[in-house]
Amino acid sequence: MRRIATALSLLLASTACTTVPSEGGSMTAGEPMVSPILTGADAVDSMTYAQPQVARVTHVDLDLALDFDRKRVTGVANLDILARPDAGAIVLDSNGLEIVGVRDGAGNPLAWKLGDTVSEGGKGAPLTITMGNAREVQIQYASAPNAEALQWLTPEQTAGGQYRYLFSQGQAILNRTWIPTQDSPGIRQTWAARITAPKPLDVVMSGVRQGEPEDLGNGRRAFRFVMDKPVPPYLIAIAAGDIDFAAIGPRTGVWAEPSTLARARAEVGDTEEMVEAAEELYGDYRWGRYDMIVLPPSFPYGGMENPVMTFLTPTFIAGDRSNNGLVAHELAHSWSGNLVTNAVWEDSWLNEGVTSYFENRIVEAVYGKKRAEQEAALSFANIEETLAEVGMNAPGTALHHSTDGAEIGSAITYDKGHFFLRTVESIVGRERFDAWLRQWFDNHAFQPATSQLFYDDMMANLVRNDAEAEQLALREWIFQPGLPSNVARPDPAAFAEVDSAVQAYAASSSIPAAYNGWTSAERMRFLDNIPKERSAAQLSELDRQLGLSTTQNNEILFLWLELALANRYEPAVPQAEQFLARVGRAKFVRPLFQVLWSEGEWGRPIAKRIYAKTRPSYHAVTRGAVDRVLGMAG
């Protein structure tokens, strides 16, 4: 009871309070854990309708049926609520949900109202429930067939071609399309679920599966899951399909369709070692198991850090583990993002930038300094390219930046965030920096964070004196646009050989014989830096000598197609068409349509023709991104 009281007084804390007592996040056996919220102005999430200081959800219990015929999940969400004594209502997020009815814990009907849906931006509509003194509400509902978080695949869209498949993608604000709760990263909730699915499909979630599935005798099975640690609701995820499991290490494993499983298992074979490396760096892995699922190729991202069950695109499989920075990245989120979470999406560098740094440290530990430095150099090139494009003063280039307006992509949130931490490390030394970052994760575990909190913590627990503070330029890094002059640049030696090969090629079109012995990062550096304008003869020669159009590495194939299409190289059109039909990852799909679109009367008809065929197979995230490129939004 005492902990509840502590949490309640925190909840009621004045809005001036910006810090959270660290005891609020600690766990006591047997007692449900109630995670604190941040109440400062910098922690107010404009993307939620929730009023967490009045009433907030602490636990979500789902009892849902997957209805593949109607592309809906239907059932009940049972919410536990912590509220001010005088709070008579709670406000939830929803988007497109059909609400059938709401009851209190005793089964008495409660009044509810769905507000107007904001058409732009996916904020959806507030669901306000008049709860009186009730602190438990049961919502009977169904998701809409076009719920953006969910993709319902036909058998043809899977590797096996026989069974239907479903997966969800919650980040950033999509889960309100299938779960009626407070969908804000600063409002952590424990959850449990009972999910029924038609046989023979298997179901996995971002929680721990409880026992064997129960055969319901009606052609369906029920699966149970529990997440007993409070998580931001964007991390609730589900996948269902014809999937099998292969163990990697004692606490690691991978799920995939049977025909993909062996390749997937081989590619992620270093995962147990990565978990050990991560723990060595920044403390215990606190989530129990670390499993992954390799999804069908329409998954719109490279990866998603769903707790205990990272979701991965199959397009990272190259046969040589060269794209495993992705696994290191999603694993690192088990600390940066899932343990300590940005309270608002304007601070998503706290998730993604810190993770990109951490990812690089795992890559260094597992694959060595050379590979890590090369990957860091690619990350730095991305910052430089983007800043050259948008300008050093563009407001969106501060780490803390608004989520609306121009899309600057990953260069700031990911790469500038990465280089911020790298710079701090280089100034204070690795030992001090690692000790600081470890305590950051420990002291803010299962809690939200803001840029200001991060800054305050560095000033309190890392920075030794005024001279060091000045040298670090922390406020400039976090709150100012551009790139501070103290940035710890990548080692120019990382790509010395490749960069001179680029120069030789630019000068005399001599194609480097060494290419086939290069690392994946070296090949990417080469393809990214050679002159952008190439004749058909030059492109054909590049392809012939380097085997670009037949590579098994999708990162390389993507760079080739981008270069070729930008030069209106006809033989690349069928290759691009095949790629765009096979792959739904937005990072690949959007830029290829973008290149075609920018090639005017040559490229636009091609883009339209291909998109007419591929659009129905893309996830809503990818579809939305390409619609904007082709001017089809709305």
Site for ligand BES contains 149 (CB under 6 A): no
Give the span between the Cα atoms of 71 and 507, in whole angstroms.
56
Closer of 202 and 352 to ligand BES (Cβ): 352
Supply the angle between the helices 520-529 and 554-566 in degrees, to the nearest 10: 10
Residue 172 contact, options ligand BES, Zn ion, none, Cβ 5-8 Å cut-off depending on partner type: ligand BES
Q: What is the DSSP string of 390-425?
A: H-TT-GGGSSS--SSSS--THIIIIIIHHHHHHHHH
| Residue with Cβ nearer ligand BES (413 or 617) | 413
Q: Which of 197, 326, 463, 502 binds ligand BES (CB under 6 A)?
A: 326
Amino acid making up residue 385: E
Q: For residues 443 and 460, is the Cβ–Cβ distance under 8 A? A: no
Is 171 a binding residue for ligand BES by CB under 6 A? The answer is yes
Query: Could you tell me the two tokens for 414?
Result: 């990911």
Q: Could you tell me the smallest distance in angstroms from the CB atom of residue 588 to Zn ion?
A: 17
Q: Which of 325, 417, 584, 591 binds ligand BES (CB under 6 A)?
A: 325
User: Which residue's Cβ has the minimum distance to ligand BES?
Assistant: 302
List the structure tokens of 266.
Answer: 């081989």
Write down the least CB distance from residue 413 to ligand BES, Å. 8
Question: CA 333 to CA 274: how far, in whole Å?
Answer: 13
Chosen residue from 172, 222, 427, 488 binding ligand BES by CB under 6 A: 172
Closest distance between Zn ion and the C-beta of residue 526, in Å? 26
**In which element (H, E) is residue 602 found?**
helix 600-614
Contact region with ligand BES (CB under 6 A), list: 101-109, 125-133, 326-334, 590-598: 326-334
CA 185 to chain centre: 13
| Cα 374 from Cα 234, distance rounded (Å) | 32
Q: State residue 136 phi and psi, 5-degree precision.
A: -140, 130
**Cα–Cα distance measured from residue 135 to residue 32, given in angstroms and rounded to the nearest whole number:** 15
CB of 302 vs Zn ion, minimal distance in Å: 8
d(C-alpha 353, C-alpha 343), whole Å: 15
Residue 303: name its binding partner from ligand BES, Zn ion, none (Cβ under 5 to 8 Å by kind). ligand BES
Instruction: Give residues 347-406 in contact with Zn ion (rule: CB under 5 A).
Output: 352, 355
Find the shortest distance in angstroms from Cβ 420 to Zn ion.
16
List the end-to-end C-alpha distance of the chain, in Å, as a whole number. 50
Give me the least distance between CB of 343 and ligand BES, in Å please: 16
Q: Which is nearer to ligand BES, 53 or 379 (CB)?
A: 379
* Radius of gyration of the chain, Cα coordinates, nearest whole angstrom: 25
Structure tokens at 370: 């050379």
Q: Which does 326 bind (CB under 5 to 8 A by kind): Zn ion, ligand BES, none?
A: ligand BES
Q: Give the shortest CB-167-to-ligand BES separation in angstroms.
A: 13
178 binds, options ligand BES, Zn ion, none, Cβ within 5 to 8 A by partner type: none
Q: Among 45, 291, 352, 375, which residue sits at the site for ligand BES (rule: CB under 6 A)?
A: 352
**Residue 325 touches which member of ligand BES, Zn ion, none, C-beta under 5-8 Å by kind:** ligand BES
Q: Number of residues in contact with Zn ion, rule: CB under 5 A? A: 2
DSSP alpha helix (H) spans, 414-492: 417-428, 430-443, 451-461, 466-472, 474-479
- Give me the phi and psi of 77, to 5 degrees please: -110, 125
**CA–CA dist 432, 535 (Å, integer):** 52
208 and 226 Cβ atoms separated by less than 8 Å: yes
Of 512, 514, 517, which Cα lies nearest the Cα of 502?
512
Q: How far is the CB of 387 from ligand BES (least distance, A)?
A: 19
- Give me the least distance between CB of 501 and ligand BES, in Å please: 26
123 versus 333: smaller Cβ distance to ligand BES? 333
Residue 444 touches ligand BES, criterion: CB under 6 A? no
- Among residue numbers 285 through 314, which ones bind ligand BES (CB under 6 A)? 301-305
What is the contact surface with ligand BES in residues (CB under 6 A)? 171-172, 301-305, 325-326, 329-330, 333, 352, 414, 587
Interface with Zn ion (CB under 5 A): 352, 355
